[in-house]
Amino acid sequence: NTRFTGIKLGPPIEVFALQKTFVDDPHDNKVNLTIGAYRTNEGKPWVLPVVRKVEKLLAADDLQNHEYLPVLGLDAFSEAATSMLLGPNSPVIAQGRAFGIQSLSGTGALRVAAEFLNRILHYDTFYYSIPSWENHRLVFTNGGFKQAREYTYWDEKTRSINLEGMLNDLRDAPENAVIILHSCAHNPTGCDPTPEQWTKIADVIQEKRLFPLFDSAYQGFASGDLDKDAYAVRLFAERGIEFISTQSFAKNFGLYNERVGNIVFVLTDTKELVEAKSQLTLIVRGMYSNPPNHGARIVATVLRNPELFEEWKDHIRTMSSRIKQMRVGLHHRLLKLGTPGTWEHIIQQIGMFSYTGLNEKQVQHLRDNYHIYMLRSGRINMCGLNESNLDYVANAFNETIK
């Protein structure tokens, strides 16, 4: 017997388990539609050229060193990231009512935000959409929240948002409940509220005094347009609602393993700003002390230099338009094959993911017979598709569904 005897085996994390099975699969035509990372038309990861360029500049700069960053990270990064989210002419920034702190990518941002909301503001109930990114629940529970609740989001029949269901669930939520919202490119459904729908959501949140937590993991990556993808967050800011938004630079900068994130706080009053920052400093100090430099330095350099910024915006257009092309390509092929069912949702959905509507049995069939890997829920990563495998995947879908 050791002290570790009796530890129970935790459940596998589906997306990573599938990734491993995929890598170990020797089949020639295997297709990976699981993990949420961008791939080129050649099926390869893409280091954005502007990122490579800045890395070389940084490597050649003898003034760079490896000293600790401050607990809340690089100011130059947080300021640039906050302005990217709220807009360069944001009134809340001009009024000094917004600030950002660096975090360990989007997940770390959510974890620190959860702990702040729970320990400092004493909120204990959070709501996440059904379905949602599967990590929201774990992060908020580990962050101290006692009550995990769900709100309606997806309508299986129409393959779109069930807005009435969502609004009803929000109306039933207790005051101060934290409502996790995906600011754009909802994961996994790829379905976002329209501007009119966002207005209705904001109305209920304001009326019922709920606390919105935006998770912004795909700004610019979704539509190719930074402003469009920040519509919801900016609407809430404009309406004078207080909120927190987490930001991830994993997808839009292709900096997955560098853990570059930011947490934006929007307050009504500047009075509590110093106090809030002091509490955040203690939370971070007791969790990981201070964040890493490399990725944040890259993002700050790009966002603050007009030429590099333009270059990067070109990259996000490249990525988002390739994804849109794959949507069109898959949709077109399924129609041509006469695959049973409606497929409009494939081209209407936005972002990296598509909720195909395939059921678990079909998903299993595709893996066993075609070596095509996707989540049990039928979610696929569009980036796994390319000109060389579109026909193969469309045919496999067709044969499976028929």
Please tell me whether residue 79 binds ligand PLP under the rule CB under 6 A.
no
Contact between 247 and ligand PLP (CB under 6 A)?
A: no
Tell me: does residue 315 bind ligand PLP (CB under 6 A): no
Binding of ligand PLP by 100 (CB under 6 A):
no
Task: Provide, rounded to whole angstroms, the least separation between the CB of residue 330 and ligand PLP.
Answer: 21
Should residue 182 be labelled a site residue for ligand PLP when binding is judged by CB under 6 A?
yes
Integer-rounded Cα Rg, in Å, for the chain is 21
Q: Tell me if 34 contacts ligand PLP by CB under 6 A.
A: no
Instruction: Write the DSSP symbol of residue 252.
Output: T
Asked if residue 73 binds ligand PLP (CB under 6 A), the reply is: no
| Residues 281, 264: Cα–Cα separation, whole Å | 14
Sole binder of ligand PLP in the list 32, 118, 183, 248 (CB under 6 A): 248
Only one of the segments 77-85, 105-113, 328-336, 367-375 lies at the binding site for ligand PLP (rule: CB under 6 A); that segment is 105-113
Of 360, 356, 349, nearest to 380 by C-alpha is: 356
Q: Is residue 261 involved in binding ligand PLP (CB under 6 A)?
A: yes
Q: Whose Cβ is closer to ligand PLP: residue 151's or residue 370's?
A: 151
* Rounded least distance, CB 312 to ligand PLP, Å: 17
Report the length, in residues, of the chain.
402
Residue 85 interacting with ligand PLP (CB under 6 A):
no
Cβ-in-10-Å burial (0-12, 13-18, 19+) of 147 comes to middle
Verify binding: residue 106, ligand PLP, rule CB under 6 A. yes
37/335 with CB nearer ligand PLP = 37
Euclidean distance between CA atoms 126 and 277, whole angstroms: 22
Taking CB under 6 A as the criterion, the residue among 32, 36, 301, 363 binding ligand PLP is 36
Q: Least separation, in Å, of the C-beta of 36 and ligand PLP?
A: 4
Nearer to ligand PLP by C-beta: 213 or 346? 213
Binding piece for ligand PLP, criterion CB under 6 A, among 101-109, 170-178, 267-275, 299-307: 101-109
Give 125 or 219: the residue with its C-beta nearer to ligand PLP: 219
| Minimum gap (Å) between residue 184 Cβ and ligand PLP | 10
For 310, half-sphere exposure in the C-beta direction (CA atoms, 13 angstrom radius) is 2
Compute the least distance from the CB of residue 44 to ligand PLP, in Å.
19
Decide if residue 133 touches ligand PLP (CB under 6 A): yes
Pinpoint the alpha helices (H) of 102-253: 105-115, 135-142, 163-171, 195-207, 226-229, 231-238
Just list the catalytic residues. Answer: 133, 215, 251
Residue with tokens 């969502």: 166
For ligand PLP, the closer CB: 107 or 400 = 107
Candidate residues 115, 169, 215, 258; the one interacting with ligand PLP per rule CB under 6 A: 215
233 binds ligand PLP (CB under 6 A): no
Q: Least distance (Å) from ligand PLP to the CB of residue 37?
A: 9
Does position 254 bind ligand PLP by CB under 6 A?
A: no
Q: Rounded to whole angstroms, how far apart are CA atoms 326 and 317?
A: 14
Residue 189 or 301: the one with the smaller Cβ distance to ligand PLP is: 189
39 interacts with ligand PLP by CB under 6 A: no
Report in angstroms the alpha-carbon separations of 71 from 17, 90, 139: 34, 26, 21
Identify which of residues 353 and 397 has a Cβ nearer to ligand PLP in the complex.
353
Pick between residue 247 and residue 400 the one whose CB is nearest to ligand PLP. Answer: 247
How many residues in the shown chain lie near ligand PLP by CB under 6 A?
12
Instruction: Give the C-alpha separation, 255 to 27, whole Å.
Output: 29
**Phi (first) and psi of residue 382, to 5 degrees:** -60, -25
CB of 263 to ligand PLP, least distance (A): 12
Q: Which stretches of the chain bind ligand PLP, using CB under 6 A?
A: 36, 105-107, 133, 182, 187, 215, 217, 248, 250, 261
